[in-house]
Amino acid sequence: MTESTGRGALPRRLGYWSAVAVLVGSTIGSGIFRSPAGIADRLPGPLPLAIVWVAGGLFALCGALTLSEVGSAYPHTGGVYVYIREAFGRLPAFLFGWSELTVIRAASLGAIAITFAEYALRVAGFDPSVAPFDAYAHYLAAAAIALLGFVNIVGVRWSSLLLNLTTFAKYGALVFIVLFALAIGLPHTGGYYTPVAPPGSFALPAFGLALVSTLWAYDGWADLSFVSGEVRDPQRNIPRALITGTVAVIVIYLLANLAYLAVMPVDQVRHSPLVAADVAQRLIGQPGVAFVGMTVMLSTFGTLTGSLLTAPRIFFAMAEDRLFFRFVARVHPVFETPYVAIGLSSLLGIVFVLLRSFEQLADTFVTAIVPFYALGVAAVFVLRKRDGYRPAFRVPGYPVVPALFVLSTVYLLANALWTPSSRWGTAAVFAVVLAGIPVYRATVGKRA
């Protein structure tokens, strides 16, 4: 096992419930509020819609179960980066960090922050789609990234406390929306709309693209692994938190979609980018819209906190391995946090959010991250053959569970390349990822 031997150590301060909050708080963001419309547009039927959300949940659960095993054997800062390095070597691990740096994390921070800013302006009574408020949204998003970057530098205790509070609040708000919609919506509509699977509502290419959108909503299930080096009793708490948090997200997402469909037919959901707000407006009028707006603000604020807590640990671990600039691995002498890595992540997120729209930020995210999740999961096949590999948790259903995850990833990427509407965007993301190979050869790869 490769251990980090750097200039500082990150103390283990995250307990079990804080670890669950990291996962749930990093996952539940804007996706459940924005994705249903696009997914319903591709699969305009209640049954296909339910199937794709279940498939996305199973995809995330297969990944979480596998990372629970690998994470219990390698409870180190960097998570997926460490698993890829241990199983496949330094170049694939570098490419993951390179992709996180150039595409994945900055785009994710920007997409989450711009959603927070747009809803903040709407709650304040302004329309973020018209000038000058469309520009103000980007400035407000940049300010949110800067503020939460500072909070995470000040300490894991403060950022995890903020994450715990926002996670509890937004999960509770989603439960409230679900219960309210089911209690009032179903009696009002007389039941769910039919037919459950209209003709033309399901096709495999459309299902694949809808699944990509679903995975944007589910993304965050692996983020806990990035802070594994700061979780107390990691062999026990990492598997428990990964499984508990992922199941909690799957349950609330499925219930939320049932609640939406209890109030609105799919044909209306597909034309409702702010479906939760529209559902609330139908149920209780304008106060419901304000409540949902505040919920989305809280949700995205918490997700932004979680993303800035977890992702910088990748760059920290890379620097510890001499796969990145060594100064990035510095630990603050007072706050005991990787302050340079957090500052770098925040700066890149600010640059991205000032230059690109939400759609531009979000469209490439899943395509860029999923291949590396697959490598992290596939690491279990390699590591199980090695002497000295002693995980505290074994993935149930091995080798079927990790194999399903990897095969699903292959299907997603092949479908994205095959479908004309997503082909060139997917190819561009792959080009950026592969550009890391000559960068590696010309820089840190010389020392390998």
For 280-321, the pLDDT digits (tens) are 888 888 788 788 888 888 888 878 877 787 777 788 888 888
On average, the pLDDT of the chain sits at 84
| pLDDT of 194 strictly over 70 | no
How many residues does the structure list for the chain?
448
How far does Cα 386 stand from its chain's mean position?
Answer: 31
Q: How far apart are CA 6 and CA 319, in angstroms?
A: 8
Query: 190 is written with which tokens?
Result: 């007389």
| pLDDT of 378 strictly over 90 | yes
Number of H helices, E strands in the chain: 21, 0
| pLDDT of 240 strictly over 70 | yes
* Closest alpha carbon to 215 in 38, 427, 53, 402: 53
Q: How far apart are CA 371 and CA 377, in angstroms?
A: 10
Instruction: Give residue 5's pLDDT.
Output: 37
DSSP-assigned beta bridge partners for residue 14: 231
* Closest alpha carbon to 39 in 303, 300, 272, 277: 272
Query: 66 is written with which tokens?
Result: 């596998």
Place of tokens 């044909």: 267
Would the CA dihedral through 424, 428, 429, 434 be positive or negative? positive
Q: Name the 3-class secondary structure at 75.
A: coil
Query: 143 is written with which tokens?
Result: 């300010």
Q: How confident is the model at residue 1 (pLDDT cuts 50, 70, 90)?
A: very low
Element (H or E) spanning 362, and its range? helix 358-363
Q: What is the 8-class DSSP label of residue 124?
A: T
Listed by start position, the domains of the chain span 16-447
Q: How far apart are CA 28 and CA 295, in angstroms?
A: 11
For domain 16-447, give the CATH superfamily.
Amino acid/polyamine transporter I (1.20.1740.10)
Tell me the C-alpha to C-alpha distance, in Å, between residue 22 and each of 97, 138, 160, 169: 20, 26, 7, 14
Q: Name the 3-class secondary structure at 391.
A: coil
Q: How far apart are CA 244 and CA 210, in angstroms?
A: 25
Place of tokens 């990822």: 433
| pLDDT of 190 strictly over 70 | no
Q: How far apart are CA 246 and CA 241, in angstroms?
A: 8
Asked which of 32-46, 77-91, 138-152, 431-445 is least confident by mean pLDDT, the reply is: 32-46
Instruction: Give residue 33's pLDDT.
Output: 80
Instruction: Give residue 143's pLDDT.
Output: 95
Instruction: Give residue 136's pLDDT.
Output: 93
Instruction: Give residue 392's pLDDT.
Output: 86
| pLDDT of 2 strictly over 50 | no
Instruction: Give residue 229's pLDDT.
Output: 78
Q: What is the percent of the chain where pLDDT is above 70?
A: 93
Q: How confident is the model at residue 4 (pLDDT cuts 50, 70, 90)?
A: very low
| pLDDT of 438 strictly over 90 | yes
Would the CA dihedral through 361, 367, 373, 375 be positive or negative? negative
Element (H or E) spanning 146, and its range? helix 133-154
Other C-beta atoms closer than 10 Å to the C-beta of 304 total 30
Q: How confident is the model at residue 216 (pLDDT cuts 50, 70, 90)?
A: confident
| pLDDT of 175 strictly over 80 | yes
Other C-beta atoms closer than 10 Å to the C-beta of 418 total 12
The residues, ordered by sequence, that sit 6+ positions from 240 with a Cβ below 8 Å of its Cβ are 16
* Closest alpha carbon to 80 in 364, 405, 440, 359: 405
